[in-house]
Amino acid sequence: MNSLSIAPECLLLSLFLLSLIRPESAQAQVSPADAALSQDGPRAAIESYFKAHALGKDEFITQAFAPEAKIQFVEGDQRKEWTRDEFATRFQQPAADEYRRVRRIQRLDVSGTAASAVLTLNYPQVLFTDHVSLLKTDGEWKIVSKVFSVDRRDVAKEAIKETLRDWMLPFEPTGIVGNIYYVGSNMISSFLIVTSAGHILLDTGPVEMLPQVIENIQKLGFKPQDVKFLLNSHGHFDHCGGFAEFKRRTGAAVVASKLDGELMTRGGKGDFYWGDDLAYEPVKPDRSVADGESVDLGGLSLTAHLTPGHTKGCTSWSIRVNEADKDYDVLFLCGLTASPYKLTNNEKYPNIVADERNSFRKLRGMRADVLLASHGFYFDLAGKAARRKPGAANPFVDPDELRRHVSEMEKDFEEALLAQETPR
């Protein structure tokens, strides 16, 4: 993206500036959909401007803006101004693919040969709000002025913090099926598998969630000290941020795939998407599992299935358990979300598309009576837990759910990939 060295500025001042440059004529607002049909002109100029951002080519600025156009903004307390050509020099580099979908026309007012529009361009660290005025001269619409404001914030980190607050609400621990119990929060999973020789815990959530997990294990009448193995779905902070502390308290042996084990050993740093942003206390696995290997305890066997894509070593686990004299195949799905990632030409994860598609293929070939996953919303935790009543059929048993879930995630992924591959 183009780099702009501007301090956070005052939106009100920008709006004031805008009021100075808005066309005098009466405004007739049309919805963006109507505008698409009837006002190709202003839209074409705006689209050219979006192209300059997407492709990093100054020629699209020259196309979109009138030669005498003014680009105004506020730096500190000072109002600044660029000419069109000064502005054009800032477009040197194409934006990364995943940012193509976050440019929006928020509002478009057209009145005769004048138009004004509010545009937002949402980049990971910066939200630009552009107020542009357009005029039709000699049959062509051009942007004649642009006032912009910059909201420089750590969008990703802020969003994560907010999300975590919503995802760590306490959840009443509950039996799922057989000797599998849910001991996580409302949205971040932690599963306890109880055996006569000690227990297995799959994921702890972030370290802030650990007290909840420990309390939930105790509430069910079990002892955290009896956990022998601490298994991992994947090496993101919201699933294994509590591992180092849990291991310290219980001595449980940490088990992870090779690649996510490396991520955990780095404390989550160097993630292909998050970089160093979501680091946690590093923990070195005591044992690494390859695809198809199992962890055995007290006559139970949990098998690792590598389903990479969300992380490079994302691990789903399967187990057969018994409830009321019936066997159930249970799958703990790692997570298939990859659509927000950069999918094309991802230098940090060149195999991402092949990995994700292989994971879909592998999961389509598996069966599960009970689908569980690293976040509650993937398997309707709250709904099913509320419907779980003694004597009634177990709502967690749904042999078609894995197929449905994989189809949904695959559709989402292929759509995102197509959007990223299609040039604007």
Q: Nearer Cβ to Zn ion, position 142 or 236?
A: 236
Among 230-238, 256-264, 294-302, 401-409, the segment contacting Zn ion (CB under 5 A): 230-238
Cβ atoms 336, 413 nearer than 8 A? yes
Q: Which residue has the tokens 């009634």?
A: 392
Q: Nearer Cβ to Zn ion, position 315 or 318?
A: 315
Cα 89 from Cα 185, distance rounded (Å): 50
Count of CA atoms in the C-beta half-sphere (13 A) of 389: 4
Closest residue to bound Zn ion by CB: 236
Q: Strands of 88-231 (E only): list them.
A: 103-111, 114-122, 126-137, 140-152, 174-177, 180-182, 191-195, 198-202, 227-231
User: Does 305 interact with Zn ion (rule: CB under 5 A)?
Assistant: no
Catalytic: which of 131, 199, 305, 375? 375
Residue count at the site for Zn ion (CB under 5 A)?
1
Beta bridge partners of 340: none
CA-nearest of 284, 320, 323 to 302 is 320
Q: Which residue has the tokens 């183009």?
A: 2
Catalytic: which of 239, 280, 305, 328? 239
Interface of this chain with Zn ion, residues 271 to 290, rule: CB under 5 A: none
Catalytic: which of 238, 260, 355, 369? 238
Q: Nearer Cβ to Zn ion, position 43 or 236?
A: 236
CB of 374: closest distance to Zn ion in angstroms? 7
Active site residue 378: no
Cα 300 from Cα 302, distance rounded (Å): 7
Q: Nearer Cβ to Zn ion, position 51 or 236?
A: 236
CB of 375: closest distance to Zn ion in angstroms? 8
Active site residue 238: yes
* E strand or H helix at 18: helix 11-21
Specify the pairing of strand 227-231 against strand 253-257: parallel
Query: What residues contact residue 151 under an 8 Å CB cut-off, 6+ apart?
Result: 8, 11, 126, 127, 128, 129
Among 65-73, 82-90, 118-126, 229-237, the segment contacting Zn ion (CB under 5 A): 229-237
CA-nearest of 175, 167, 170 to 370 is 175
Residue type, 261: G
Catalytic: which of 49, 310, 328, 355? 310
Active site residue 375: yes
CA-nearest of 131, 79, 87 to 105 is 131
Catalytic: which of 53, 131, 236, 305? 236
Residue type, 15: L
Binding mask 10-39 for Zn ion (x = CB under 5 A): ------------------------------
Q: Nearer Cβ to Zn ion, position 144 or 187?
A: 187
Q: Nearer Cβ to Zn ion, position 129 or 346?
A: 346
Cβ atoms 117, 109 nearer than 8 A? yes
CB of 269: closest distance to Zn ion in angstroms? 15
Q: Nearer Cβ to Zn ion, position 103 or 236?
A: 236
CB of 355: closest distance to Zn ion in angstroms? 15
CB of 335: closest distance to Zn ion in angstroms? 6
Binding mask 231-270 for Zn ion (x = CB under 5 A): -----x----------------------------------
CA-nearest of 23, 83, 54 to 423 is 54
Active site residue 341: yes
Q: Nearer Cβ to Zn ion, position 224 or 308?
A: 308
CB of 268: closest distance to Zn ion in angstroms? 10
Active site residue 405: no
DSSP 94-107: PPPGGGGGGEEEEE
Cα 53 from Cα 43, distance rounded (Å): 15
CB of 336: closest distance to Zn ion in angstroms? 10
Cα 403 from Cα 409, distance rounded (Å): 10
Q: How far apart are the first and last CA of the chain?
A: 15
Catalytic: which of 341, 349, 355, 405? 341
CB of 310: closest distance to Zn ion in angstroms? 6
Q: What residues act catalytically? A: 234, 236, 238-239, 310, 341, 375
Under the rule (CB under 5 A), what is the footprint of Zn ion? Answer: 236
